[in-house]
Chains A and B, each alone.
Chain A
Amino acid sequence: MTTTDTPAPAGSRTLAWQRRRQSAARFWKNYRTHRAGLLGLAALALFVLAALTAPLTVGSDVANVTDAPGSPMESPSAEFPLGTDRFGRDLLGLLIWGSRVSLLVGLLAAVLSVVIGALVGITAGHFRGAYATVLMRVTDWFLVMPTLVLAIALATVMSRSLGTVVLAIGVTTWPTTARLVRAQTLAVESRPYIERAKALGGGHWHIMSRHVLPNVMPLVLAQTTLMISSSILAEATLAFLGLGDPTVVSWGGMLQEAREAGAVSSGDWWYLVPPGIAIAVIALAFTLCGRAVESVLNPRLGVAR
């Protein structure tokens, strides 16, 4: 966004910024009318705050098994509001600490997925011919594959780490984005000003980065928000199946531990309820935000209303 091909008249950059500020303000004004979207945003802010301040509020030693503060499997009390786990660790602390992994993995996996999807979509829409045909065939193939099964298979054959989980989710979930972005790219490229840009000598890179990308950006943004929620769910699922990173605390991992510790058969509900609610609330929050963003940017859809 920093280089310009033609010498810009003075003040064009400030003009551009002004325009961007205006459209951001307009976006916010529309977004505010979606009550569910605002609710999602508020819940999200709460979680992000908890995750960011976790080192101050709970400290990183909360996951330490050897000097756990309580005795194993205590039910909720004044000292431990959510009770303790099978090692006597404070479940509230673990829950807050776990939000870091869930948010981080969800965010990274969604970004990876959307970046791959946008890249494939834009290039397949821009370069036609054999290249696009092959690319779209690959996309279609990924699209029909059961995403979670493929992610599980990938996570099984790679070493257990957060990177593996991000990669497994990211490389299996991009095709929907690719299809959406490609369709949008084709629509943008049929507009006359692209013709003008080509006539003036704009190359492939110039067209894709300066004309197509800004036009597909809103779509990409909405898609990312929606993708984060499914990535968080996917992370929890992989962790629950024992395919996550065993060295870090995550909500799915907590549920897996609870199940292994026999919390289900002994009826220790307090061990199971909080992580699940946390996963559901954050996934729902991102879904609500995503739908609000989508309906602001594309009012014709009218899904969220």
Chain B
Amino acid sequence: MAADAASARVTKTERSGTGYLRYGAGKLGGAVVSLLAVLVTSFFLFRLIPGDPVKYMTGGRQVSNEQLAAYRREFGLDLPLWQQFTDYCHKALTGDLGTSYQFRAPVIDKITEALPNTLILTGTAFVLYTALGVVLGTRSAWRHGRLGDRLNTGLALTLYSIPSFWLGLLLIIVFAVGLGPIPGLFPTGGMESGGEEGFAYVLDVAHHLVLPVITLVAVEYGQTLLVTRSALLDEMGSDYLTTARAKGLKDDLVRRRHAVPNAMLPTVTLIFVNLGRTVAGVILVETVFSWPGLGGLFYQALSVPDLPLVQGLFFVFAAAVIVMNTLADLIYPLLDPRVAR
């Protein structure tokens, strides 16, 4: 600390490159540890269950002891716990997540089958709610305290308090089943009507997408709006904005060139974290709209319960969130170099 300022500055710039590498390696290491922890948890969590998993599999039917033993052998439940665990880890790392009880198919196949459908739904919703949240949040902060701001935040908070599944059900009643004079405009559920091809198929899927996407956007955009708004509010008292105004820049320009880029930093993190959060939202929305994605599959697995499938999906959901968070951690210092120091 006693060293003169100049040399201190030099060492700091020299280290800044390796600083990011060290920071990044740390974050990646953390992510790997987290993923392993999820793997361990997903194994032991589903061994908490009292009673015999085989009983769930047979769904209360009358089965002979020989059959039960055969099932146990088939699913590897006759082995000692530690051996089941090492088997599980070994298989999981090679992409084998076990066999679903109810579908009698590899869990990984069911997941890869449903994944693209979920990506279509969440991808569309994600782009829309992020754009909506950032735009409205910026406007709200820039005119904070005015009527428009209060309506914006009020609506965001209200929609945030509404259970997504309920909103979905209402939208189905009003816009799909039709209520009173309103005719049903959209399909009640599913992803396609079947039989369509080419461009007609794309249109058909888009038609099916409308209501679930509206639901997801409505419940998710509020978070982005509020974070963008408060980040921008924090920024608005800053001296550099006063300077920018003092040198005669137009208000609009001050906002777009100076305030918003700086205030976007927390929002960037949030956007990635949101992608993870959408996972939970998508379970409910897909359930309500019978969307054939991961969330709908999760619901089907819960009601049995189809433990290998629940376990596999739990792992996939958690892994997706961890990967997203790590990406946010890795991108953040590129935008704001202070973080990596």
B155-172 CB mask vs A (1 if < 8 Å, else 0) is 001101111011101101
For chain B residues 95-146, which have a beta carbon within 8 Å of chain A? 144-145
Known contacts A265-B188, A269-B173, A272-B170; A144 and B163 CB within 8 A of each other: no
B302 near A229 (CB under 8 angstroms)? no
A212 CB–B CB distance under 8 Å:
no
B303 CB–A CB distance under 8 Å:
yes
B267-285 CB mask vs A (1 if < 8 Å, else 0) is 0000000001101100110
Q: Cβ of A287: which chain B residues have Cβ within 8 Å of it? A: 157, 160-161
Q: Cβ of A279: which chain B residues have Cβ within 8 Å of it? A: 161-163, 166
CB distance from B215 to the nearest CB of A (A): 13
A184 CB–B CB distance under 8 Å:
no
B37 CB–A CB distance under 8 Å:
yes
Partner of A243, one of B161, B302, B317: B302
CB distance from A68 to the nearest CB of B (A): 23
For chain A residues 284-300, which have a beta carbon within 8 Å of chain B? 284, 287-288
B71 CB–A CB distance under 8 Å:
no
Q: How far is the CA of A148 from the CA of B166 in the complex (A)?
A: 16
Q: How far is the CA of A150 from the CA of B173 in the complex (A)?
A: 31
Q: How far is the CA of A273 from the CA of B166 in the complex (A)?
A: 8
A302 CB–B CB distance under 8 Å:
yes
Q: Cβ of B283: which chain A residues have Cβ within 8 Å of it? A: 148-149, 152, 241
A237 near B284 (CB under 8 angstroms)? yes
A242-273 CB mask vs B (1 if < 8 Å, else 0) is 11000000001001001100001111010011
Q: Cβ of A237: which chain B residues have Cβ within 8 Å of it? A: 163, 165, 284
B30-64 CB mask vs A (1 if < 8 Å, else 0) is 10001001100000011011100000000000000
For chain A residues 162-218, which have a beta carbon within 8 Å of chain B? none
B66-95 CB mask vs A (1 if < 8 Å, else 0) is 000000000000000000000000000000
A119 CB–B CB distance under 8 Å:
no
Q: How far is the CA of A144 from the CA of B41 in the complex (A)?
A: 14
A269 near B179 (CB under 8 angstroms)? yes
A283 near B161 (CB under 8 angstroms)? yes
For chain B residues 284-314, which have a beta carbon within 8 Å of chain A? 284, 287-288, 298-299, 302-303, 305, 310, 314
A233 near B161 (CB under 8 angstroms)? yes
Partner of A157, one of B38, B46, B169: B46
B191 CB–A CB distance under 8 Å:
no
A129-156 CB mask vs B (1 if < 8 Å, else 0) is 0000000000011001111111011101
Known contacts A267-B178, A280-B158, A284-B161; A272 and B279 CB within 8 A of each other: no
A25 CB–B CB distance under 8 Å:
no
B321 CB–A CB distance under 8 Å:
yes
Partner of A148, one of B30, B169, B172, B280: B280
Q: How far is the CA of A150 from the CA of B166 in the complex (A)?
A: 21
Known contacts A146-B317, A241-B302; A236 and B233 CB within 8 A of each other: no
Partner of A240, one of B165, B177, B226, B325: B165
CB distance from B91 to the nearest CB of A (A): 19
Q: Cβ of B152: which chain A residues have Cβ within 8 Å of it? A: none
Most buried by B among A140, A146, A267, A281: A146
Q: How far is the CA of A276 from the CA of B171 in the complex (A)?
A: 13
A305 CB–B CB distance under 8 Å:
yes
Q: How far is the CA of A145 from the CA of B322 in the complex (A)?
A: 7
B50 near A159 (CB under 8 angstroms)? yes
Q: How far is the CA of A287 from the CA of B222 in the complex (A)?
A: 13
27 contacts between A and B (CB under 8 A): A141-B34, A146-B321, A149-B314, A150-B314, A152-B298, A153-B46, A153-B310, A153-B314, A157-B45, A157-B48, A158-B48, A233-B161, A236-B163, A240-B165, A240-B284, A266-B177, A269-B179, A272-B169, A272-B170, A280-B161, A283-B162, A284-B157, A287-B157, A287-B161, A288-B157, A302-B233, A303-B226
